[in-house]
Structure 1
Amino acid sequence: MKNSFSTHSQIAVVSSFADLINTHFQGNENARCWSRNLMGDFKEIVDRLHLKENITEVSCEDLLALQLSEQGQRARETILNDIQLLTDFGASPCLNLVQHYQRDDECDFIATDVYSYHVDRSPIATDTFLCTYHGAASDILPNDQAKQKILIPELREKLKALYDGPESGFDDFLAEYFFDLHYQPKPHAQPINLGNGHIWRLAVDHPMQQVVPCIHRAPIENEDEYRLLLIC
């Protein structure tokens, strides 16, 4: 399949949900994309939904209650089908209407919110799935174009100054507060935007993982535009 994503060695582009889920990550690959050109009016769904908080979870019942045009109904059917596919696979998909995420303002020299490049971690074998139907889409960063923030000398020294405990517990401190999950782009790094409509599967840091986890971040939202995001 020809796709701009396929030029990156860490990304495998597939044409079905079965291909998305049925092969383990291996080698350099740590991201997989079910590339799709979706039909339907996803903006109509966003416009019909009501934002209750900065992030509002949207249920299937909420979707079914919307009065939609033919194109809106088409978009709704796609979302409901995606939710069913992921649920049948054993995942727990969540559809979110996003105005913005909470910013990390506790530490002024190292951010640990989702707008910072980071990897996901789990105590069990799992992957991250996501699809942006409307609005700004997430980015991933090739692993060789990023450096773990805790390995940057000036940041590490500041973290050591923040830590109040024995040297033997410093690494546990970094993990407890998720500092070790975050990455800094190297100069001239080239992020890869995940686009709208595609379902992505990203490698997570877990005990059985055979590849490096996928570095990604949430985008800065477009002004006056909500994101409609399926994630699990």
Structure 2
Amino acid sequence: MTMRQWWVLLLAGLAVCAVAPILSSINAPMVEMSRETPVEPRKVSLTYHDPPDGLLVEDTVYLTEGIEVNERLLAAGKDVAFRPGHLAAGVRVDRNGRLSGTPQQAGTYVASVVGCAGRTCDKDDVTLVVLGNVPWQPRELAFPGRAGAPLDGEIGVEGGPAGVLPTFTVTDYEKLPKGVSIGPDGRVGGVPAAPGAFEVPVRICVAGNCAGVVVQLLIA
């Protein structure tokens, strides 16, 4: 073997040794490398509630001397329990906000009420305006109309304490003809859908002095 042949064999052997690891890595199964995936920030939905201006929705109650009270305090928040007790002028409040008693003397009285929702309590002043017992009577109770034509009327009240607006409450809505309504201000309106004679029970209150009446709707 000549020197040239010996060098050729040596170089060929070195080449085989260098290529063998590469070929073995190509034939080996691929292993997937784990990678870090960035976590998206969690979205948090926040709801903000503005606190009410006070404990009560309405802080003035109108009552009539010598007339049993049938009113209720309305809390601005939810699930509010009132602290029972005496308010003023012979009037009491229970945990549901219901007022009871019979005012014996006219005048304006301011009393504090406490209401709690869970462990959170709030305090507010309520004004009881006790008016003298001035007789009153309804002014209009019968309203004629025609089916398909707008109805426009007002019950109204004569007498009662000066400056006090009466309130009107329908006590049986099923008695109302279809398309007709009676509002808390005594307005009778709407468009009657069919003719007929209808008698609607309504409760009228003037400063806590209440009476039930029957409103007649005569639709031709």
TM-score, with structure 2 as normaliser: 0.20
Q: Which gives a bigger RCO, structure 1 or 2 (Cα 8 Å, sep 6+)?
A: 1
Query: Normalization by structure 1: what TM-score?
Result: 0.19
Q: Which has the higher strand share?
A: 2
Higher share in helix: 1
Quick check: which has more Rg, 1 or 2? 2
